[in-house]
Structure 1
């Protein structure tokens, strides 16, 4: 879909489809690929990469087994995603990232650590979820340190919005968990407000707000530096209950 098309060029769409087609929670900054990233794309994308398609994937066929399925939105350079996949070989992981250098870096990292239970998309997460992922298939959705769009006039660009979390609820299995983390307190409050009002979710926090960082979410160098400087990090985990 070209974002340059005039609205009148499009046939009338259902309201949800209109939302899904227009939301963009990222700015595409392509960046320059290093030689190593390009080499990883050339060598490992054919076996680890997945293309956007208009029909749902059968992930048990992709991975060759039935296993809990974890999907991460916006994995950056992929270091923590690869670490999680390596430390949980009993699970299968899917990463979605729009920035090609990050995809190349993640592929190289996965190869270095001989990680086989990981597949990647280089595409918009909303379109992948809507078109390429079947309903009731995901055990966990992870969204770690998304762009906070901290200026008030940009808050509408934040990916955690009522329509988006209902899309995720469709894709999660019953009992599946949406796990978010941010180092922006205002965004944490926004996430909590949206999720607390969202139909079909239950907060896993004992205090009905935030949860301690679970052991399975790696502490990144960036996060560790922030914690040492006294910066806060907030984790939220909500379970699909119906």
Structure 2
């Protein structure tokens, strides 16, 4: 049986802003969701990754895939591992599916919804090779910091889902959030930092349009790569 979700106080870690689908988004969903989409609810229990992807391979979880620019490129460059992307915005999901279809990717699946119930109930302990959290919602107001995805209780949950030696890779262009991430991850004894402080951007993480906008606006980019002990 899955863990009981009511034990968690469920605070949303994303600010849902409903946009309007363009015809290409609707077309992508109709055509590609049956191929890439994951239909899951907490009552379904833990996902069988071998069944989901049709093979046994290391699995990566990406929380917040945005428009899928990085996810599709990294999947294409790393076809020996499977990626489960989590995103709430249908326009971003449609773009990611279109990118995956163009590249002929078979190692990608997408769950539309809140990542936290999936972390609590949908993934078996020690079953992930890596977790990626790239440019999450920064919730800049102090009173909203409790909504940030990289918090002590959430990274503790993530640690339980990673195999020993698995990686948690975070990136942000918000300096105070980067410092909070570093403090939270350093304080969790389940992880070790792979760098002294912030890590250089790994070559495998492509620079996206979103990231280039941040640099153009004068913001520094911070990567954190921590290993599960």
Q: Normalising by structure 1, report the TM-score.
A: 0.88
Q: Offset at 1:109?
A: 1.3
RMSD across aligned positions (CA) = 1.6
Aligned length: 225
* Cα distance in 2, alignment partners of residues 23 and 151 from structure 1: 15
Residue-by-residue CA offset, 1:76-96 (whole Å, 9 max, x unaligned): 111110111011111111100
Kindly indicate whether residue 79 of structure 2 is the aligned counterpart of residue 89 of structure 1. yes
Kindly indicate whether residue 68 of structure 2 is the aligned counterpart of residue 62 of structure 1. no
Q: Who is 1:186 aligned against?
A: 176
Alignment of 1:28-39 (within 5 A): 28-39=16-27
Kindly indicate whether residue 228 of structure 2 is the aligned counterpart of residue 240 of structure 1. yes
Q: Mean Cα displacement is larger for which, 64-73 or 226-235?
A: 226-235
Residue-by-residue CA offset, 1:15-43 (whole Å, 9 max, x unaligned): x8433x41211122121111111111111
Q: Match of 1:174, SS?
A: strand
Query: 5+ residue gaps in structure 2?
Result: none
* Cα distance in 1, alignment partners of residues 214 and 38 from structure 2: 34
Q: Match of 1:101, SS?
A: helix
Q: Offset at 1:68?
A: 1.6
Q: Who is 1:23 aligned against?
A: 11
Q: Match of 1:76, SS?
A: coil
Q: Who is 2:122 aligned against?
A: 132
Q: Is residue 52–residue 123 contact of structure 1 (8 Å, CA) maintained in 2?
A: no
* Cα distance in 2, alignment partners of residues 220 and 188 from structure 1: 18
Q: Who is 1:160 aligned against?
A: 150
Q: Match of 1:61, SS?
A: helix
Alignment of 1:101-120 (within 5 A): 101-120=91-110
Q: Mean Cα displacement is larger for which, 115-124 or 220-229?
A: 220-229
* Cα distance in 2, alignment partners of residues 150 and 27 from structure 1: 12
* Cα distance in 2, alignment partners of residues 230 and 25 from structure 1: 26
* Cα distance in 1, alignment partners of residues 24 and 224 from structure 2: 35
Q: Who is 1:203 aligned against?
A: 193
Q: Is residue 67–residue 91 contact of structure 2 (8 Å, CA) maintained in 1?
A: yes
* Cα distance in 2, alignment partners of residues 171 and 179 from structure 1: 14
Q: Match of 2:154, SS?
A: helix
* Cα distance in 1, alignment partners of residues 19 and 212 from structure 2: 26
* Cα distance in 1, alignment partners of residues 150 and 6 from structure 2: 17
The structure that has the greater radius of gyration is: 1
Q: Is residue 62–residue 131 contact of structure 2 (8 Å, CA) maintained in 1?
A: yes
Q: Offset at 1:105?
A: 1.4
* Cα distance in 2, alignment partners of residues 226 and 122 from structure 1: 26
Q: Normalising by structure 2, report the TM-score.
A: 0.93
Q: Offset at 1:229?
A: 5.2
* Cα distance in 2, alignment partners of residues 130 and 37 from structure 1: 30
